Amino acid sequence: MTLQALAIRPCHCAMMLRVVLVCAVLAACAHGAKKHIIPVIDIGDEYMKVAAVNPRGGDYLLFDIALNEQSERKTSVVVGFEQDGEMRVGEDGVALKVRAPTRCLHGFMELLGAEFSGSVVQQFLVENPQFGDVLVPTARGTVAFKVPGVNDELPVEVLIAYLVRSVVSKFSVGDILLGSDSVSEIALIVPEHFDEVQAGLLKQAAELAGVRVSALVPQLAAAIIDYAVGGQNSGAGAKQTVIGYGMGGLHSAAAAFQIERAGAKNKKKATVVALGPAISERVGAAMFTSAVAGLARASFAAPLDGQFKALAKLTRAAKEAKEQLSSSPQARIQIEALHAGKTLDASITLTRYEEAIDAIATKGVSPVSALLSQDRLTVDDVTVCELFGGGVRVPRVARALQQTLPKLTLGRHINGDEAAVFGAAYLVATRAKLSGLQTELQYVPGPQDSRQQLASPAQPLEKATIEAYKALMAQIDAQEEQRQLAAAADEDL
């Protein structure tokens, strides 16, 4: 069988026309034709999103977000362990944040490649004191977790590998379960704060899961590609200079792009040129959650230092209150018997909240100011600032951006949570020369950005280290299999 022509099935919503996933229908093997799916994975500070193709028969293909086992579009970046050592990845492990804080690993993406004695690890421990006795150095001087009840030390690379494995073994698109029969390679989004070495480590970590990484795409570039080929942007047929600004859980970033569109109907063309490297800052939405928690904690009668379960409950409630304050003038946090038999009951007004986060929000938009301070770009050159990520939904962040860019429109033409996987998927589909794409895309990366090159950066992990990590995963898998067999035997009794 030859490569079939692909077509995007018409849908009721203009947004769906932009939902492009990567797929190729490969030649038939001896046992019949198989569909070859390339998931595009965006692992963020707090959540990961995955795009995957949804075959619907014949020559028609509908592209959509891959869903986790809970049928949700985004998944918590969590690897947790029960007391008996059973591993729980993603949403399965979220409950452990409160029930067993030292056995619920999260926030570890920024630790990839970090020196154990460096400032990144020190800041991580300030924000996550429950891991003070859990973090240990690897033989390479980087970071691993020694989880209570788990015999092995778990390097960050291995944790990432298990996240990727959960995608290719447990996620689904439509009625199709992703798995070894359909997935042999993936594409990855590279966070803007990652350098060349971290990009290489991300690739190597993902490949520990037994898949090949066929593409690395910078996050903001991917989101702007989605903006360029989507149906909700403005200025079709014109040349634009666009600032892409994103704020995630722990980081914010900005980068400039030039977009040119041409053609009409089924012969559209979009060219996206990165004008230089992104500028990032370690400020994100998690800091706003911490600010809410701090306001609530100030009204509590008992000290919470070292009370990790209580602090986890408070953080969970503070996150919900932060989301309320994005649309309401007041939020209430009430947690019965939080600690020492005492109940926390705090009302937080929008005014108090915005006073508490004022400096954080201002610092969070500093990448935009830094971008405009460079010689090659002025605010008069820019058409629109397109927003990306969950943090931009905080009104104080939007106002800080508007103060920085008083003459510009703040664009919300893309799905801020999913634009990166949509855009990266479109780019990979274009490079694979798949037919059926509505817009011919040309992407020109920034001259100083080598993070998306698969041969460079040089592979940071040596072969012996990779083999050791694979052996560690095999050992963990064997223990998990024994645990499942024992549990099945108990059920039979």
Segment 144-190, tens digit of pLDDT: 999 988 878 999 999 999 999 999 998 887 777 787 677 888 999 99
Is-contact 237 285, C-beta < 8 A?
Answer: no
Strands (DSSP E) along 195-286, which ranges?
A: 212-218, 239-247, 252-262, 268-274, 279-281
Specify the pLDDT at position 150.
84
Is-contact 48 74, C-beta < 8 A?
Answer: yes
The whole-angstrom separation of Cα 211 and Cα 192 is 23
Specify the pLDDT at position 63.
65
Pseudo-torsion of CA 264, 269, 274, 280, nearest 10°?
Answer: 60
Specify the pLDDT at position 450.
63
β-pair partners for 410: 385
Specify the pLDDT at position 300.
93
pLDDT tier for residue 4 given thresholds of 50, 70 and 90: very low
Portion of the chain with pLDDT greater than 70, in percent: 85
The whole-angstrom separation of Cα 19 and Cα 371 is 30
Provide the H-helix boundaries in 53-94. none
The whole-angstrom separation of Cα 52 and Cα 253 is 26
Residue 76, SS3 per DSSP: strand
Portion of the chain with pLDDT greater than 90, in percent: 63
* Mean of pLDDT values over 444-448: 79
Candidate from 153-157, 301-305, 430-434, 468-472 with smallest mean pLDDT: 430-434
CA–CA–CA angle 63, 64, 65 (5° rounding): 145
pLDDT tier for residue 409 given thresholds of 50, 70 and 90: confident
pLDDT of 227 over the 60 cut:
yes
β-pair partners for 214: none
